């Protein structure tokens, strides 16, 4: 996570990444005059996610997959779906991060080498960004490492800035932790309690706890940033729910964050529904895409037993599993796999077939899951309620999907996607019980 400290940029780069020498361009406030009508425009609120490529703790952690989604994708989804930002930006110095940001619909500002150092602060990068964007009045600096952020949090903070007149708002979380003074090694002193009376230790329910910055976001008006501050002026905190307060700095945080985001993360505007039908592309998903031909010209394919178990588990949970292929696969060969699934092969229009299956079962699209890997799967992946691709799927399919497996096609991807479905269905059931 970029450090939040007071600082100043000493050199900047233009949006194309070419460094300019000397002092940064002068920061100017944007005119708010209505075009000949005297109508004041609302202040321009820009979301800015800082994501340099040189993370030391976890290399390229900003785009490492967390629960099947690039880490930065979780906060970009929340920012874009909140509807409160006039623009959503990612400031980066890395091509791969730029590509992922654009896939999620963000604009990209290319950071200079001066603001991409280990010693660079968040403020350095924000000042550089503002020097090229005079239209921006308020910056919502959102940390890429906070995957449980929800649009509702951002909507409430935007209201605090725009309607209640705060100059800066930052996120906090409430903790119930007793603090003690630190004793330096070799010093013969005794520790002292800092926020409790040991003789009257309160029960958790009798103590309100304390507020700590959790680093999820820092909103500040332009004039404050120009003075070198992210917090100041008429200042307020925004308290986030503890289960939404997740930060990732080291590898050990990753599995914990993955479980947390699956349970408490934001998965998009469409409400999750219980999956009733799962459709899987045969070549490259159920199989690894390799085809072997015997001496008597018979087609031979292979699949992973883990994926067969995944199909069995889905069916036992009441989810219909069907197979599809645009290729004229041998149905005799597929039947020999004994998966007991309805299948359609030699399909020129997969979306039409899946739509027919959906209507036949009386389902809405949100009750359908689809595992695909090719360009021909793109429309299905975009249409269904839950979509996934193997790790080695083509880039077109990966851009259209909600979950990217860690496993390759024919090597456990179907089983992994099944497990993902079960986790999300547990989330649906829990939400219905509340």
Q: Supply the residues annotated as catalytic.
A: 201
Own/partner pairs for 100-105, CB < 8 Å, 24+ apart?
Answer: 100/63, 100/70, 100/72, 100/73, 101/49, 101/51, 101/72, 101/76, 103/399, 104/70, 104/72, 104/73, 104/76, 104/77, 104/80, 105/76, 105/80
Number of Cβ atoms within 10 Å of the Cβ of 399: 17
Beta bridge partners, 172, equal 213, 239
| Beta strand extents in 96-191 (DSSP E only) | 107-110, 138-142, 168-175
Number of Cβ atoms within 10 Å of the Cβ of 64: 15
Cα separation, 34 vs 31, whole angstroms: 9
Residues 24/130, Cβ–Cβ less than 8 Å: no
CB-based burial label for 388 (10 Å; 0-12, 13-18, 19+): buried
Cα separation, 200 vs 209, whole angstroms: 15
Cα separation, 262 vs 66, whole angstroms: 9
| CB burial readout 341-351, b (16+ within 10 A) else e | bebbbebeebb
Cα separation, 248 vs 204, whole angstroms: 26
């Amino acid at each position: 996570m970029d450090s939040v400290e007071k600082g100043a940029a000493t050199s900047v780069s233009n949006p194309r990444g070419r460094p300019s020498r000397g002092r940064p361009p002068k920061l100017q406030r944007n005119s708010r005059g209505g075009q000949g009508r005297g109508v004041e425009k609302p202040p321009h609120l820009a979301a800015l996610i800082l994501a340099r490529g040189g993370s030391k703790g976890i290399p390229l952690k900003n785009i490492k997959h967390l629960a099947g989604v690039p880490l930065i994708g979780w906060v970009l989804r929340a920012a874009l779906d909140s509807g409160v930002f006039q623009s959503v930006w990612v400031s980066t110095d890395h091509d791969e991060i730029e590509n992922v940001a654009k896939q999620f619909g963000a604009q990209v500002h290319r950071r200079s080498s001066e603001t991409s150092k280990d010693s660079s602060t968040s403020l350095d990068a924000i000042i550089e960004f503002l020097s090229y964007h005079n239209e921006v009045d308020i910056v919502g600096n959102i940390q890429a490492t906070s995957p449980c952020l929800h649009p509702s949090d951002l909507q409430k903070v935007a209201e605090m800035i725009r309607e209640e007149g705060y100059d800066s708002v930052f996120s906090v979380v409430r903790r119930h932790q007793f603090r003690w003074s630190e004793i330096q090694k070799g010093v013969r002193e005794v520790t002292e309690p800092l926020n409790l009376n040991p003789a009257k230790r309160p029960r958790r329910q009798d103590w309100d706890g304390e507020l700590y910055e959790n680093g999820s976001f820092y909103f500040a008006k332009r004039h404050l940033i120009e003075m070198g501050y992210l917090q100041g002026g008429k200042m307020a905190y925004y308290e986030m729910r503890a289960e939404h307060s997740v930060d990732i700095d080291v590898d050990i945080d990753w599995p914990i964050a993955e479980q947390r985001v699956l349970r408490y993360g934001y998965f998009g505007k469409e409400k999750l529904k219980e999956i009733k039908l799962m459709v899987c592309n045969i070549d490259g998903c159920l199989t690894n895409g390799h085809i072997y031909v015997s001496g008597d010209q018979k087609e031979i394919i292979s699949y992973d037993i883990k994926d067969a178990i995944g199909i069995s588990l889905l069916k036992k949970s009441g989810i219909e599993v069907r197979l599809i292929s645009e290729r004229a696969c041998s149905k005799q060969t597929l039947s020999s796999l004994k998966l007991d699934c309805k299948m359609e092969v030699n399909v020129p229009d997969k979306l039409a077939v899946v739509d027919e299956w959906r209507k036949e079962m009386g389902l809405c699209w949100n009750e359908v899951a689809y595992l695909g890997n090719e360009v021909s799967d793109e429309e299905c992946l975009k249409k269904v309620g839950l979509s996934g691709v193997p790790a080695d799927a083509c880039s077109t399919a990966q851009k259209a999907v909600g979950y990217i497996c860690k496993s390759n096609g024919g090597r456990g991807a179907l089983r992994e996607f099944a497990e993902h479905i079960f986790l999300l269905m547990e989330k649906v059931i829990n939400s219905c019980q509340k």
